[in-house]
Amino acid sequence: MIRVCLVEDQTIVRQGLRGLLDLVDDIQVVGEAVDGEEALAQVYGALIYSLQNETS
């Protein structure tokens, strides 16, 4: 499974990309962001959450 975080400042483009990617079985959209800073914050948060649950 390929996990993707979409980063695009235009909502309509981001929604279109998400719609296309949702049709692909091997791709899972795990986040959406309007810029790189927001995307990095989401990815960092998901990584920390994953690491905390891995050690529990």
**47 contact partners, CB below 8 Å, separation of at least 6:** none
CATH number at residue 22: 3.40.50.2300
**Does the reported pTM lie above 0.85?**
no
Measure CA 9 to chain center: 14
Task: Please give the average per-residue pLDDT across 42-46, as a whole number.
Answer: 90
Total tally of structural domains belonging to the chain: 1
C-alpha distances out from residue 34 to 15, 19, 50, 55, Å: 12, 17, 23, 32
> Cα(41)–Cα(50) distance, rounded to whole angstroms?
14
Confidence category of residue 56, pLDDT binned at 50, 70, 90: low
Per the structure, the complete domain to which residue 13 belongs is given by: 2-54
Taking every pair of C-alpha atoms in the chain, what is the biggest distance, in angstroms? 40
Q: Residue 15 pLDDT more than 70?
A: yes
Residues forming a β-bridge with 6: 32
State residue 55's pLDDT score.
Answer: 66
